[in-house]
């Protein structure tokens, strides 16, 4: 009997070896295409039953090129690169890895928030430039006098809120889904925006959340507010964010994600003195790199053994 076939598309800075080992131990044949191109992937593994991706887009062209496909397994929490409707129409499961880097991303967001509140990016640049200027940052704040707003109360948002609560004066949160979060005051979206001196984004990118923070909603934030985004760049309208930073209405923005990655070196956000940026690394640690690839592989293995992934975003049996 032939073994089921799994193929990796793009490799995004992680070593697939632990995932490959887990798949092979479970009886899968594994091939690595190392490409986002559907034709290339189909040439490497035309009969693949599992497609394991980093950030490569999976649309109709990819699905048509792999007619035996049973699962698309992402190596991320977000699945905005996958055409979920097209997968559902074909009965193809889609899985993510929601718990592989909860601590890393939440801590990165907190570090960014505190860096903005204490003016560290401006002080670092000023001091390295040979200045000794206590006024290099526009405004400093006492964290216990500030309110933190959390948009998105999944695993990472809740962990961030828990980390922030002992440091900041209060933490309030919003999530479009209706579920209880013990110890956290839940409000509507606009109410959170009106109270958030520091706003941290932890929402998935969906049609309804794309450019959620437009000029109108950014204007609801208190003057001098700060924004942290470790989720998806397209949650914020870039032009509106630049306007708010240029005017000084926002004291700062800390961005681990951008709408276009990698960005143009001349990107106005990267050059802005009120912006702290990192290259989409909030999720990284030696432990998370292993967890991502192993959990991704375990979703594939579960489809082979039970018909459904361990962490389904969509599974035919649950449709």
Torsion, Cα of 160, 165, 167, 173 (10° steps): 70
CA atoms within 13 A on the CB side of 269: 27
Evaluate whether 174 touches 148 at the Cβ level (below 8 Å).
no
Enter the DSSP assignment of 82: B
202, 232, 274, 295: which one is catalytic? 232
Evaluate whether 149 touches 196 at the Cβ level (below 8 Å).
yes
Evaluate whether 174 touches 147 at the Cβ level (below 8 Å).
no
Evaluate whether 276 touches 253 at the Cβ level (below 8 Å).
yes
Token pair recorded at residue 177: 């889904």
Q: CA 171 to CA 160: how far, in whole Å?
A: 10
195, 226, 274, 280: which one is catalytic? 280
Token pair recorded at residue 100: 């592989």
131, 185, 190, 261: which one is catalytic? 261
Using DSSP's 3-state secondary structure scheme, residue 39 falls into helix
Q: Is 261 an annotated catalytic residue?
A: yes
Using DSSP's 3-state secondary structure scheme, residue 196 falls into coil
SS3 of 105-120: the string is HHHHHHHHHHHHHCCH
Per-position b or e across 252-289, b if 16+ CB within 10 A of its CB: bbbbbbbbeeebeeebebeebebbbbeebebbbeeebb
Token pair recorded at residue 263: 């960005």
Using DSSP's 3-state secondary structure scheme, residue 207 falls into coil
Number of neighbours of residue 31 by Cβ within 10 angstroms: 14
Q: Is 280 an annotated catalytic residue?
A: yes
Q: Which residues are catalytic?
A: 232, 261, 280
């Amino acid at each position: 009997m032939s073994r089921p076939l799994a193929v990796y598309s793009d490799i995004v800075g992680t070593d697939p070896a632990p995932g490959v080992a887990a798949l092979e131990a479970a009886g899968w044949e594994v091939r690595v295409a190392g490409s986002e191109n559907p034709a290339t992937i189909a040439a490497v593994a035309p009969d693949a039953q599992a497609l394991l991706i980093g950030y490569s887009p999976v649309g109709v062209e990819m699905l048509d090129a792999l007619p035996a496909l049973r699962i698309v397994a992402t190596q991320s929490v977000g699945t905005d690169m996958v055409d979920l409707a097209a997968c559902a129409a074909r009965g193809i499961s889609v899985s993510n890895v929601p718990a592989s880097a909860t601590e890393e991303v939440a801590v990165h967001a907190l570090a960014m928030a505190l860096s903005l509140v204490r003016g560290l990016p401006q002080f670092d640049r000023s001091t390295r430039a040979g200045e000794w200027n206590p006024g290099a940052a526009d405004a400093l704040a006492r964290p216990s006098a500030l309110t933190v707003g959390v948009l998105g109360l999944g695993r990472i948002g809740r962990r961030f809120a828990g980390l922030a609560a002992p440091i900041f004066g209060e933490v309030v949160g919003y999530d479009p889904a209706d579920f209880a979060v013990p110890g956290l005051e839940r409000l509507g979206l606009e109410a959170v925006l009106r109270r958030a001196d520091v706003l941290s984004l932890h929402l998935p990118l969906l049609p309804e959340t794309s450019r959620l923070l437009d000029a109108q909603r950014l204007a609801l934030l208190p003057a001098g507010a700060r924004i942290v985004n470790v989720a998806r760049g397209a949650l914020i309208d870039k032009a509106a964010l630049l306007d708010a930073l240029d005017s000084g209405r926002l004291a700062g923005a800390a961005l681990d994600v951008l709408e276009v990655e990698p960005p143009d070196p001349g990107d106005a956000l990267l050059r802005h003195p009120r912006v702290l940026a990192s290259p989409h690394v909030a999720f990284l640690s030696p432990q998370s790199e292993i967890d991502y690839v192993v959990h991704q592989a375990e979703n594939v293995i579960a489809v082979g053994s039970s018909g459904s992934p361990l962490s389904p975003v969509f599974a035919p049996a649950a449709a």
